Amino acid sequence: MLIVYSPFAFEVDECGVSSRRIGVEPHKRPVSHTVTEMNMRTRSAIFYEAQQPISVEDVELDGPKAGEVLVRVVATGACHSDYHAVDGHIKSATVPMVMGHEAAGVVEEVGQGVTAFGPGDHVVFAIRPMCGKCKYCSSNRWNLCNGIVKEPGLMVDGTSRFKKLDGSTLYHNLATFSKHTVVPEWNLVKVQNDIPIEKLASIGCAVVTGVGAVVNTAQVKEGSTVAVWGCGGVGLNVIQGAAIAGASKIIAIDVADSKFPFAKKFGATHTIDALKNDPVEAVHELTGGGADYTFEVIGKPPTLRQAYDSTCPGGTACMVGVPPTGGEVSIPMGPLFLDRKLIGSSAGTGSPRVDFPWFIELYRQGRLKLDELQSRERPLDEINEAFEDMLSGEVARTIVRP
């Protein structure tokens, strides 16, 4: 019998005496096991309310239950999607919450019934689940999976795995702003361990959301013109996705000119400072009548309208940025009548088990910039400073190392 304790497994004889520690070698698979109800102490970044700093605290973490996996988080990206709750762009009703979603790590323990992962496996987190049973998974639209019925911020069984030291509940989704986290197995993609796992931290959000919006959602054609509003971590991946797709002109638009050197490194051929120029007029001038594809990666109605107005007849405007709670945009019907399209892209319309290995292969070939995306590293206790890095425009992505 194999008894699994967090974070290691021990082999026991018939008398229940442990003989040696096992289960930490890469890819070792337990033949049979039971999971204890014991918990462990870890350190996590907790969001309490908008307009307040995130608090980094010691917390209690329950071990994985059936169908769940305990992961040691090696690297996690400071993404604007989390910061949208901090600055009030979106309203979060599930507080206090352990934050974080873009990450890679190493499996330390698996719950009952988990056979696809074992201790030592390298994994990348997928921001959307992949139940494999709902109508979206069944039609290869994994990014829209709704097969998991649960309360927001809780696991499938309606409970949380995180607690404060006083025993009160902490809500969480992937909770990667933590030294350890427990997630459903369908939120993980196993990857080969020949690349340092920290290099792959941004694949599950910034890369799949940005590159995926180009190749999966909008399906940008070779030789077409592209304009991108917002040159943060996701916007840079839209830009490099357009370069991978073979776009002839890639126009980067932002209000922070400090971001333009990054944009050019990732494939932008032109830049527009929206504080100094009308981006709609500038895009029309650069493209001779409007871009074939435009991408709004900020999540604001005015910039989405600009992106739509910058398309040519037959062009496509794609919303990638997270919209504000209750946000709306108004568009004229005349241009829409000329075969223009306004579409949305959720998680890059990605299929993580297919797309992640592809991204890794592109990285091996030198065609996908992951090293360049990771501008700075910080420890977990500096999570607020990591977000300040993001807002300053001086980094492509700050990677937090719990």
End-to-end CA distance of the chain: 33
- The pairing of strands 9-12 and 18-22 is antiparallel
Hunting for tokens 């005349």 — which residue is that?
334
73: domain CATH number is: 3.90.180.10
Domain match, 43 and 155 both: yes
Q: Which two tokens mark 321? A: 């940025």
Q: What is the Cα–Cα distance from 213 to 226, expressed in whole angstroms? A: 12
Q: What is the Cα–Cα distance from 271 to 274, expressed in whole angstroms? A: 9
Q: How many domains does the chain have?
A: 2
Active site residues: 79, 81, 84, 101, 205
Domain match, 198 and 214 both: no
Domain match, 262 and 153 both: no
The answer to whether residue 358 sits within a structural domain is no
Domain match, 189 and 260 both: no
Domain extent at residue 43: 2-202+374-401
The answer to whether residue 287 sits within a structural domain is yes
Domain match, 6 and 151 both: yes
245-256 tens-digit pLDDT: 999 999 999 999
Domain match, 76 and 58 both: yes
162-208 tens-digit pLDDT: 999 999 999 999 999 999 999 999 999 999 999 999 999 999 999 99
Domain match, 215 and 196 both: no
The DSSP result for 236-252, as a single string, is HHHHHHHHHHT-SEEEE
Specify burial of residue 120 (Cβ count, 10 A radius: 0-12, 13-18, 19+). middle
The answer to whether residue 265 sits within a structural domain is yes
Global confidence as pTM: 0.88
The DSSP result for 199-223, as a single string, is GGTTIIIIIHHHHHIIIIII-PPTT
Among 148, 213, 176, 144, residue whose Cα is nearest residue 44: 176
Q: What is the pLDDT of residue 29?
A: 40
* The last residue of a domain, from among 331, 348, 365: 348
202: amino acid identity, one letter:
S
Domain match, 166 and 281 both: no
275: domain CATH number is: 3.40.50.720
Q: What is the pLDDT of residue 149?
A: 61
Domain match, 8 and 149 both: yes
The answer to whether residue 361 sits within a structural domain is no
Q: What is the Cα–Cα distance from 130 to 136, expressed in whole angstroms? A: 9
Q: What is the Cα–Cα distance from 233 to 20, expressed in whole angstroms? A: 44
**CA 264 to chain centroid:** 23
Q: What is the Cα–Cα distance from 346 to 143, expressed in whole angstroms? A: 7
Domain match, 323 and 218 both: yes
**Dihedral (CA of 279, 285, 287, 291) sign:** positive
Domain match, 162 and 283 both: no
**Dihedral (CA of 132, 136, 140, 143) sign:** negative
Q: What letter does residue 64 receive in the DSSP assignment?
A: P
Domain match, 172 and 230 both: no
The answer to whether residue 292 sits within a structural domain is yes
* pLDDT beneath 50, residues of the chain: 1-36
Phi, psi of 64 (to 5 degrees): -70, 140
The answer to whether residue 78 sits within a structural domain is yes
